[in-house]
C-alpha cells in the first residue's frame, strides 16, 4: 500500500481501508459481521437472547463513534446493489445521498463518509469474488477427489 494524500492506494490482495489508520476498526466490524464461521455457529446454536450474553461470538469489535454514520449508511444501503448477469457490480451510487438523508437521524454525507462506504463496498465485493471462485473450484470435475 502506498500513501497518497489522505487515501491509501490498496494492493490487489488486501483491501484494508481508505482514509487512514482509524478506519481499521470499521473494517473489523464489517469482518466480524460477515465472518461465515461466526454466522454458521450462531445459526447452529439458535440462541436468541440471554444465552448469547456469555458467548464469545455475541460481541464484535467496538464501532468507534467517528465510524457510526458510515456504518449506519452502509446498513441502509444494504439493498441498493447493482448487478448484472455476471453478479454484483457495486452499490447504486445514485441513491446514497437520499438514503443518508432518510435515515433517522440523517447521516452527514461527506467525502470522508463516502470513502468509508466505498472501502466497505470494495471489501464486500472482494469477499463475494472469493466465494464465487471457491464455489467454482469446488464444482470443477475432479474437485475434492
pTM of the model: 0.65
CA gap 96, 66 in Å, rounded: 19
Sign of the dihedral through C-alpha 119, 123, 126, 132: negative
Mean pLDDT score across all residues of the chain:
77
Annotated domain spans of the chain: 2-6+18-139
Burial class (CB in 10 A: 0-12, 13-18, 19+), 112: middle
pLDDT of 14 > 60? The answer is no
Distances (CA, A) of 28 to 31, 34, 105, 144: 5, 10, 24, 32
SS3 8: strand
4 versus 73: which is more confidently predicted? 73
pLDDT digits (tens, 9 = 90+) for 69-127: 999 999 999 899 999 888 889 999 999 999 999 999 999 999 999 999 999 999 889 88
Query: Quick one: average pLDDT of 28-42?
Result: 77
Inter-helix orientation angle 111-139/24-34, to 10°: 40
Q: What percent of the chain has pLDDT over 70?
A: 74
Q: Out of 5-9, 95-99, 130-134, which region has the weakest mean confidence (pLDDT)?
A: 5-9
16 versus 69: which is more confidently predicted? 69
Amino acid at each position: 500500500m502506498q500513501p497518497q494524500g489522505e487515501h491509501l492506494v490498496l494492493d490487489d490482495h488486501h483491501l484494508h481501508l481508505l482514509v487512514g489508520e482509524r478506519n481499521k476498526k470499521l473494517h473489523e466490524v464489517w469482518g466480524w459481521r460477515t465472518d461465515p464461521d461466526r454466522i454458521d455457529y450462531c445459526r447452529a446454536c439458535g440462541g436468541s437472547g440471554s444465552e448469547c450474553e456469555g458467548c464469545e461470538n455475541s460481541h464484535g469489535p467496538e464501532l468507534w463513534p467517528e465510524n457510526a454514520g458510515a456504518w449506519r449508511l452502509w446498513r441502509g444501503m444494504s439493498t441498493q446493489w447493482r448487478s448484472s448477469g455476471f453478479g454484483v457490480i457495486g452499490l447504486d451510487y445514485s441513491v446514497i445521498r437520499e438514503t443518508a438523508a432518510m435515515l433517522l437521524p440523517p447521516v452527514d454525507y461527506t467525502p470522508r463518509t463516502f470513502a468509508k462506504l466505498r472501502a466497505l463496498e470494495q471489501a464486500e465485493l472482494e469477499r463475494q469474488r472469493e466465494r464465487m471462485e471457491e464455489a467454482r473450484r469446488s464444482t470443477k470435475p475432479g474437485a475434492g477427489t
